[in-house]
Structure 1
């Protein structure tokens, strides 16, 4: 099936371009645009012939349905505006005789695709212009820094500390040598009896290791950004101290599985229960889980994740007075790039309010960081296990 050209399309509302001369002397008078089939007022070229809307629709329906019409008379019925409905067989034959082409009729599926494409083009015209060259360059720098330093498979992560599992007996008999005292069973998680319940599962050493691993990656990510490297070392340290814990959560969200509510870090998998077993309280863990679910549901692209990390990193609240203006301007540039990217890459209705939702989640993240810091300081063993984490929260 051949498609229709812009001038010969089935829905073209105007006659072919080029019929008018420079001064309009060759233009057809409006009253001369009559349907070649029935003589009614024509609306444009449809299936290669100037026709009215009625004959256009009749021809399309007749061909698409494959109906065989029969003339009850002599197959020479007059087809006029008033009599065109009296004999469908002669009207269809008249359509063919004047040159209307079957091969230019689009199927319903093709029509739906074309309507959808027109809708997308209309939405694209309503959207702001695409990213500027400067904005695209910023995204490229951030993505390169992220990919060079974030090990999404956690293949380089080494769990140095063994997890400690202590078990107490339920209905299991007490040891004869120590009547009335709890018994520490060897860690055999794959073959525990049903009456043996976990009493303590120390995740602190593991949390210490992965915290250090993530902080090291974020420091490397920041140092790969030219604007960050240009800052005095004291400001670099201040920015990292102020935002590393928040950036950790953004990076962890990229490996969060919304179906299982688990963080899948390569061979390691963590749930909110692991945080509780490490000593974190529900006042922090429940909002943390809600935050990750909400952020993951937004379906962010890699570019949006790295822009969000950079927007957090370049916070003027954590800068010296000498560098505050520069950092504020850079954060504004990152934020505008993020907004432009969302507007350009998330068409309506998907992208509606996406930027506003992100800003609300950033506010939640600030609150989570305050509670996270408080609880880390409360869990003395955690900060003592990782000097780098202790320095970040100091």
Structure 2
């Protein structure tokens, strides 16, 4: 199957040692499991060190602890008859499958077994259990296995029929199209969905203590006021404002007590609204980036790659995955991103939505939302974007290329199975085109971020690592 890929773009800066990001990837967040009450906070006016970033990263994971191989071996149950690996309780005793079957057959035959060595005390182990049936049966009975617990042939057949029926019922509860996918493809989608649920706080309930614009329209003062930009900075920001878009973003915050705070950008075009929102945007971006990093690390496909390639993939794709997640909370009818208690609204002085389409980022969100994608399609898009072999610094390109191919084929198969209607026959091509557009937006965004950072440094340490921003 031939699939289209996003075109290669060499916009992401590279070549800077990844220190904080390296610590993010090197220490698995799964080693520090947290419950649903985990509180991932962005703290204002603090200097974040390596421990802070690793701790915050761990807090956003709510998955189960993965025990290492040594710990699993210690907990492995052994057969009470022969010492082989047990599979569960059979006829009242923890045994292996072999001893379970032997005991059932021996009891049904009801044959008088005798020890060929005339000892009656043969040692029964995994290697010797076939040498003496009489002593093996004696060991089964001495271990506590009970003949009366053996089911009749009719009862066994009835139980097998029940298991088959329940299996059919489980398959019937799956989305209709999922039944047309291979088992490998279904497992791939399940792993992606599980990682998404564990690492994407769709309610943004753990996003706390973030910085807000200096003054909200309700006249509430926010602690930690920001210094005003210099005249030179304001002029440069004004130029950047014109480059970016004439559309402005307002912010609404719903308090826990029911109060509502609103921030609307200034009516002029001085660039002040960019400056006032920078700290908040940095906090929100960092929060989202941490979730993306954890998403990648939950995936077995990602963990199996060398850490250098993990870092290169994250530096290239984190912004793109962030936009895909933001699109899931985008309300195209209202022009708002609804992030829990926070709501970001597009302010259009012209009173229409036409000029929104002049800005590539806004056009992307509207066009992607129009496709009405399933959650499975969103996470497969994230995987295709993450495993891009042409990111700067990637070494195992062939391996990553094969992974991306598998995710793309799975997405195509999912669409064909779950969306058989003629209206969706070009959906896969549209999605791949959107990923290509997102790659272009990523390059543009990086350049704009570097220009703003050069005027007024605002990026958090994690943002600096991801976008390879050097000090000075």
Structure-1-length-normalised TM-score = 0.55
Post-superposition shift, 1:166? 8.7
- Does 1:242 pair with 2:316? yes
Post-superposition shift, 1:387? 1.3
Work out the CA distance in 1 between the residues paired with 2:284 and 2:347: 16
- The equivalent position to 2:445 in structure 1, one of 346, 350, 372, is 372
Q: Which runs of 5+ in 1 are unaligned?
A: 1-126, 168-188, 275-281
- The equivalent position to 2:213 in structure 1, one of 147, 160, 163, is 163
Match of 2:368 in 1: 295
- Does 1:323 pair with 2:396? yes
Q: Map 1:243-262; keep pairs closer than 5 Å.
A: 243-262=317-336
- Does 1:354 pair with 2:404? no
Change (3 A) 1:260 1:340: same
Work out the CA distance in 1 between the residues paired with 2:315 and 2:356: 23
* Partner SS state of residue 350, structure 1: helix
Q: How many matched pairs?
A: 237
Q: Is the 8 A contact 2:309 2:394 kept in 1?
A: no
What do you get for the CA RMSD once the two structures are aligned?
Answer: 3.0
Match of 2:387 in 1: 314
Q: Is the 8 A contact 2:178 2:418 kept in 1?
A: no
Q: Is the 8 A contact 1:235 1:319 kept in 2?
A: no
Q: Which has the higher contact order (CA 8 A, sep 6+)?
A: 2
Match of 1:133 in 2: 183
Q: Map 1:101-250; keep pairs closer than 5 Å.
A: 130-165=180-215, 200-201=272-273, 202-250=276-324
Work out the CA distance in 2 between the residues paired with 1:191 and 1:317: 44
Post-superposition shift, 1:350? 2.8
- The equivalent position to 1:339 in structure 2, one of 402, 409, 412, is 412
Q: Map 1:271-282; keep pairs closer than 5 Å.
A: 271-273=345-347
Q: Is the 8 A contact 2:313 2:387 kept in 1?
A: yes
Change (3 A) 1:304 1:383: farther
Work out the CA distance in 1 between the residues paired with 2:260 and 2:377: 41
Q: Considering only CA atoms, is the larger Rg found in Structure 1 or Structure 2?
A: 1
Larger mean CA deviation between 213-222 and 376-385 belongs to 376-385
Work out the CA distance in 1 between the residues paired with 2:304 and 2:201: 25
